Structure 1
Amino acid sequence: MFSDPLKPAYWLTIFIAGIATVACAGGIFSKDLYRDSEFIKTAWFGNDIVTLSIAIPLLLVALAFARKGSQRAQLVWMGLLGYMVYNYAFYLFGAAFNAFFLLYILLFSMSVYALAIGLFNLDVAGISQRFSSKTPVKALGIYLLLVSLPLGIFELSQCMRSIISGETPQIPSLIFALDLSVVVPTTALAAILLWRHQAWGYILGAMMLIKAFTYGMVLSFSTALLAGFRLSGTWDPLMPFYVFVALGGLAGSYVLLSHLKPVSHT
């Protein structure tokens, strides 16, 4: 039925972008959509702005170039689909039930399927062989470890403190669940595989760098909003880390992808 094995993922991505635009616009312009506390509502608001203004446009641009055969764009596309999976897991499982609940189900499930189809049909070996021997895999691997290890240590310590004290952690447990089960191990694995020049290291490395940039922007912007509206009491002490994640992810993505030799069509 599909001559191009990636075609189902292309169509799913278009639907994801369209539905995510509706979801973000609703979150930004409707005062009654979110039923959470004012603190959480502000965090959703910041998330919606970054997703609408950065993630969705980048996703559509990456898709357009990926369909033309750009392997760089394919990696950006996969990274942004990973962002969508992670992002809408929070809305689906973490937000109080609201009118967009079914949209969150669609966004999460379609993002999972699009990412799975994309990764399954990606030319992993071919792409990895096109990276220059001068690709700074060690520097990029160190950055990824500097993101994953402090995050893992901080969240594990928070979990252990709450378990020992018997108190409910201030941070929603869903954040611990997603970060410690998916983000931290995958980022660390990407660093190790990239350091060793393994094929999947380049793929996962690109994805986690792009995820670091996009979600680092979400965390930085939302933290600034919370402090500006005086809902957090004070600036989050992790703000420098969020900025480091965002800027490092952006710079790392550029450096890694710039060392991927384009496919010659001659």
Structure 2
Amino acid sequence: MDKTIIPNMGTQKVMNYSVAILTAIHCIISIADNDIYRDGEWANAQWLGQDIITLVIALPLLLISIRKGIEKNKEKWKILNCGVLLYFAYTYSFYVFVAKLTYLYFFQASIFGLSLIGFVISCIGIFNHKCSFNLPSRNLKMIIVIYLSLIALMLSFIWLSDIIAHITNPAHKSDTPNGEAPLIIYTLDLAVIIPLMFTSAILLYQKTNWGYLLSGIILTKTSTLGFALMAMSLSMYLQDLNPDYFLIILWCIIGLIGTILTLLFLNKLKIKENTESNKEYKK
């Protein structure tokens, strides 16, 4: 007997729509009054860029993925939904663990918790669904493998270099307002995101179901976060806070390439229901 547990669609809808509603309220308040944050000009400018991208890009993607993925049961949109929820969990971890306390914390903590739990529940659903995946374009597959591997290697080099510099040179300063090491970034990227990127690239190269699913999730998260980081840097530039121009260009490139690859991946991905009545791959 198949005892696979598929999460209840109603539960997923409630959690996703809760994230969407709370995010809309949070972003509208914070964008209308950026001074509500108490983290100084440097951090406030980045929060502003982050909130704008979350409101105009991530939130619409979440709503579309709820409609087409959860309500209409389309696998590709379920993958996108997981990626967007991972973006929310990653993004709002900074608000709850780094930002100074304001009444927005009640929204931020709720969004962080709901998106993290929702991500896990959504992953349980898509990873247990009886489907097989295939990406007919070998060139696209290899480009995605290379892209994910290069981003993971680049981030590993940047963060490990900064960590080693802090350990070996007490006078070393990170690119933060007080020069202190951004431990939350190191931890989330080195312990979670980078291993997921490498794992996705390896499993995609091996043409496994997990490789296709993880790659779609990580591509979605990487492209949305790339635009968010770009907006954060541009916000600092517009407020004359001397951002790193190299990073503005870098995140623009990552965001654009990631978006193109995400769209191509989801468009070309073929799905086959593992049933006797349906043996053909479908778009």
Q: Calculate the TM-score normalised by the size of structure 2.
A: 0.87
Query: Match of 2:98?
Result: 94
| Shift, 1:123, TM fit | 4.6
Partners in 2 of 1:195 and 1:245 — Cα distance?
21
Task: Map 1:245-264 to 2 at 5 A.
Answer: 245-261=254-270
Q: Is the 8 A contact 1:217 1:243 kept in 2?
A: yes
Query: Match of 1:142?
Result: 146
Q: Secondary structure at the match of 1:237?
A: helix
Query: Match of 1:242?
Result: 251
| Shift, 1:125, TM fit | 6.2
Task: Map 1:115-264 to 2 at 5 A.
Answer: 115-123=119-127, 126-127=130-131, 129-134=132-137, 136-167=140-171, 169-171=174-176, 172-231=182-241, 233-261=242-270
* CA deviations over 1:107-138 (Å, ceiling 9, x no partner): 111111111111112155644x2324335322
Letter in 1 for 2:186: F
Query: Match of 2:281?
Result: none
Stretch of structure 1 that moved more, 75-84 or 116-125 = 116-125
CA RMSD of aligned residues (A): 2.1
Q: How many residue pairs get matched?
A: 263
* CA deviations over 1:78-101 (Å, ceiling 9, x no partner): 100010110100111111111111
Q: Is the 8 A contact 2:127 2:210 kept in 1?
A: no
Letter in 1 for 2:38: R
Partners in 2 of 1:178 and 1:117 — Cα distance?
20
Change (3 A) 1:123 1:157: closer
Q: Is the 8 A contact 2:233 2:244 kept in 1?
A: yes
Partners in 1 of 2:196 and 2:272 — Cα distance?
28
Residue of 105, 112, 117 corresponding to 1:113: 117
Q: Is the 8 A contact 1:159 1:169 kept in 2?
A: no
Q: Is the 8 A contact 1:125 1:199 kept in 2?
A: no
Letter in 2 for 1:203: L
Partners in 1 of 2:209 and 2:6 — Cα distance?
26
Partners in 2 of 1:155 and 1:7 — Cα distance?
40
Change (3 A) 1:139 1:31: closer
Letter in 2 for 1:19: L
Structure 1: give runs of 5+ residues left out of the alignment. Answer: none
Letter in 2 for 1:190: S
Q: Is the 8 A contact 1:134 1:259 kept in 2?
A: yes
| Shift, 1:206, TM fit | 0.5
| Shift, 1:262, TM fit | 6.0
* CA deviations over 1:165-189 (Å, ceiling 9, x no partner): 1245334222112111111111111
Letter in 1 for 2:44: K
Stretch of structure 1 that moved more, 234-243 or 102-111 = 234-243
Change (3 A) 1:123 1:178: closer
Partners in 2 of 1:226 and 1:200 — Cα distance?
38
Partners in 2 of 1:234 and 1:253 — Cα distance?
28
Name the % identity: 26
Q: Secondary structure at the match of 1:130?
A: strand
Partners in 2 of 1:234 and 1:57 — Cα distance?
28
Partners in 2 of 1:259 and 1:226 — Cα distance?
37
Structure 2: give runs of 5+ residues left out of the alignment. Answer: 177-181, 279-283
Is 1:47 equivalent to 2:57 in the alignment?
no
